[in-house]
Structure 1
Amino acid sequence: MTAAGWPEETADGPPALGGRWRRLLARAGGRLAALAGAEGERWVLWLPVAFGAGVSLYFGLRQEPVWWGGLAGVGGAVVLLLAVRRWFALAGVAMALLMVAAGFLVAQAHTVRMAAPVLTRSIAGATVTGRVMAVERRPGAVRITLREATVSRLAPEQTPAALRIRLSDRNPAPVPGSVVRLRATLLPPQAPAEPGAFDFQRRAWFMGLGGTGFATGAVEQVEAPPVTGWSTVAIAFERARGAIAERVAAAIGDPVEASVTTALLNGEEFGIPEATLDDFRNSGLAHLLSISGLHVGIAAGILFYVVRALLAAVPYIALRWPIKKIAALFGIVSALAYTLLVGAPLPTVRSVLMTGMVMGAIMLDRHPLSMRLVAFAGLVTIAMDPEGMLGPSFQMSFAAVVALIAAFERGSVRLAEWRRDAGWFGRGLFYVGGILLTSVVATLATLPFSLFHFQQIAFYGVLSNLIAIPITSFWVMPWSLIAYALLPFGLEAPALIAMNWGDRAVIWTAAFFGRLPWASLTVPAMPVAGFAALVAGGLWLCVWRRRWRWLGMLPILAGLASPMLVERPDVLVAGDGTVVAVRLPDGRLSASGKGGGRVTETWRERDGERTTADPWPVAGGWSEGERSLSCDALGCLYRLRGKMLALPRLPDSLDEDCGAADAVVTAAVARGCRAGVVVDRWALRHEGAHTLTVTAEGIKVETVRGLRGDRPWTGGR
Structure 2
Amino acid sequence: MAFEPRQTSVGRRTVRIAHNGFARIEQWLEVEREQLALWVPVALGAGIAGWFVLPGPAHWLACCCGALGLACLALLLPVGARLRHMLVTAGLLACVGCLLVWGKATWLGQPPLARPIFVQVTGTVTAVAKLPAQQMIRVGLRPIAAPALPAAIRVNIAEADVTEGLGKGAVLRFRVRLMPPAPPSVPGAFDFARRAYFQGIGATGRALAPVEVVEKAREGPTLRARLFDHISGQVAGAPAGIAVALATGDQGAIAETDAEAMRRSGLAHLLSISGLHVTALIGAVIFLLLRLLALIPRAALDWPLMLIAAAGGALAGIGYTLLTGAEVPTVRSCIAALLVLGGLALGREAITLRLVATGALVVLVFWPEALIGPSFQMSFAAVVALVALGEHRRFKAFAMARDEPWLRKAGRTVAAMLMTGLAIEMVLAPIALYHFHKAGLLGAAANLVAIPLTTFVIMPLEALALCFDLAGLGAPFWWLTAKAIALLLAVAHGVAASPMAVMLAPAVPGWIFGIIVVGGLWCLLWRSRWRWLGLGPVAVGLIGIALLAPPDIVVTGDGRHVAVRTPAGTMALLREGAGDYVRDVLSESAGYDGTLEAIAKMKQARCSTDLCAVTLPRGGHDWRLLVTRNAMLVDRPILERDCAAADIVISDRGLPWWCRPRWMKIDRRLLSRTGGLSIGLESGKVHTVHRPGDAHPWIVRRRPRTAGQL
Shift in CA distance, 463/225, structure 1 to aligned 2, threshold 3 Å: closer
Shift in CA distance, 158/414, structure 1 to aligned 2, threshold 3 Å: closer
Q: RMSD between aligned alpha carbons?
A: 3.1
Q: Which moved more, 1:465-474 or 1:64-73?
A: 64-73
Residue in structure 1 matching 2:592, options 609, 624, 632? 609
Q: Which moved more, 1:595-604 or 1:608-617?
A: 595-604
Residue in structure 1 matching 2:127, options 128, 133, 141? 133
Residue in structure 1 matching 2:152, options 156, 161, 164? 161
Distance 2:622 2:408 in 1: 69
Q: Give the drift of 1:210.
A: 1.6
Q: Give the drift of 1:73.
A: 7.5
Q: Which moved more, 1:411-420 or 1:539-548?
A: 411-420
Q: Which moved more, 1:70-79 or 1:530-539?
A: 70-79
Alignment partner of 1:599 is 2:582: yes
Q: Give the drift of 1:686.
A: 3.0
Shift in CA distance, 93/74, structure 1 to aligned 2, threshold 3 Å: closer
AA paired with 1:647?
A: V
AA paired with 1:694?
A: L
Task: Tell me if structure 1 keeps the 8 A contact 2:169–2:217.
Answer: no
Residue in structure 1 matching 2:55, options 31, 54, 62? 62
AA paired with 1:501?
A: K
- Unaligned stretches of 5+ in structure 2? 703-710
What SS is found at the alignment partner of 2:213? strand
What SS is found at the alignment partner of 2:173? strand
Q: How does 1:533-572 map to 2 (within 5 A)?
A: 533-572=515-554
Residue in structure 1 matching 2:389, options 395, 407, 426? 407
Q: How does 1:312-711 map to 2 (within 5 A)?
A: 312-411=294-393, 414-415=396-397, 418-422=400-404, 426-486=408-468, 492-597=474-579, 598-617=581-600, 622-623=603-604, 629-639=605-615, 640=617, 641=621, 643-649=623-629, 650-652=633-635, 653-673=638-658, 674-675=660-661, 676-695=663-682, 699-706=684-691, 709-711=694-696
Distance 1:72 1:111 in 2: 19
Task: Tell me if structure 1 keeps the 8 A contact 2:561–2:574.
Answer: yes
What SS is found at the alignment partner of 1:183? strand
Q: Give the drift of 1:96.
A: 0.2
Shift in CA distance, 581/654, structure 1 to aligned 2, threshold 3 Å: same
Equivalent in the alignment of 2:707: none
Distance 1:529 1:413 in 2: 33
Alignment partner of 1:714 is 2:694: no
Task: Tell me if structure 1 keeps the 8 A contact 2:176–2:205.
Answer: yes
Equivalent in the alignment of 1:207: 199
Q: Which moved more, 1:86-95 or 1:333-342?
A: 86-95
Distance 1:170 1:533 in 2: 50
Shift in CA distance, 470/571, structure 1 to aligned 2, threshold 3 Å: closer
Shift in CA distance, 333/149, structure 1 to aligned 2, threshold 3 Å: same
Distance 1:521 1:165 in 2: 34
Identical pairs, percent? 33
What SS is found at the alignment partner of 1:601? helix
Distance 2:5 2:642 in 1: 69
Alignment partner of 1:194 is 2:186: yes
Q: In the TM superposition, what whole-angstrom CA distance separates every residue of 1:95-148 from its partner, at most 9, and x where no partner exists? A: 101111111011111112333342233334634433151213231412322222
Q: Give the drift of 1:393.
A: 1.0
Task: Tell me if structure 1 keeps the 8 A contact 2:607–2:613.
Answer: yes
Alignment partner of 1:219 is 2:211: yes
Equivalent in the alignment of 1:175: 167
Q: Which moved more, 1:129-138 or 1:529-538?
A: 129-138
Distance 1:111 1:51 in 2: 16
Distance 1:367 1:413 in 2: 18
Q: Give the drift of 1:55.
A: 0.7
Q: Give the drift of 1:651.
A: 4.0
AA paired with 2:598?
A: P
Q: Give the drift of 1:226.
A: 5.3
- Unaligned stretches of 5+ in structure 1? 1-8, 228-235, 624-628
Task: Tell me if structure 2 keeps the 8 A contact 1:119–1:188.
Answer: yes
Distance 1:714 1:335 in 2: 37
Task: Tell me if structure 2 keeps the 8 A contact 1:164–1:209.
Answer: no
Distance 2:542 2:10 in 1: 41
Task: Tell me if structure 1 keeps the 8 A contact 2:606–2:612.
Answer: yes
With normalisation by structure 2, the TM-score equals 0.89
Q: Give the drift of 1:426.
A: 4.9
Shift in CA distance, 669/76, structure 1 to aligned 2, threshold 3 Å: same
Residue in structure 1 matching 2:231, options 239, 242, 248? 248
Task: Tell me if structure 1 keeps the 8 A contact 2:554–2:590.
Answer: no
Q: Which moved more, 1:476-485 or 1:313-322?
A: 476-485
Q: In the TM superposition, what whole-angstrom CA distance separates every residue of 1:416-448 from its partner, at most 9, and x where no partner exists? A: 884143465554444433432332222222122
AA paired with 1:356?
A: L
Distance 1:99 1:297 in 2: 31
Distance 1:43 1:141 in 2: 51
AA paired with 2:102?
A: Q
Q: Give the drift of 1:466.
A: 1.6
AA paired with 2:135?
A: A
User: In the comparison of the two structures, how many residue pairs are matched?
Assistant: 687
Task: Tell me if structure 2 keeps the 8 A contact 1:648–1:654.
Answer: no
Distance 2:269 2:397 in 1: 27
Distance 2:551 2:454 in 1: 43
What SS is found at the alignment partner of 1:375? helix
Equivalent in the alignment of 1:102: 96
Distance 2:7 2:71 in 1: 43
Q: Give the drift of 1:20.
A: 7.1
AA paired with 1:250?
A: G
Q: Give the drift of 1:86.
A: 3.0
Equivalent in the alignment of 1:3: none
Distance 2:548 2:398 in 1: 46
Q: Give the drift of 1:17.
A: 7.6
Shift in CA distance, 176/69, structure 1 to aligned 2, threshold 3 Å: farther
Distance 2:132 2:191 in 1: 23
Q: Which moved more, 1:381-390 or 1:45-54?
A: 381-390
Q: Which moved more, 1:373-382 or 1:62-71?
A: 62-71
Equivalent in the alignment of 1:6: none
Distance 2:43 2:362 in 1: 13
Shift in CA distance, 342/412, structure 1 to aligned 2, threshold 3 Å: farther
Q: How does 1:83-122 map to 2 (within 5 A)?
A: 86-88=79-81, 89-122=83-116
Q: Give the drift of 1:702.
A: 3.4
Distance 2:608 2:530 in 1: 63
Q: Give the drift of 1:291.
A: 1.4
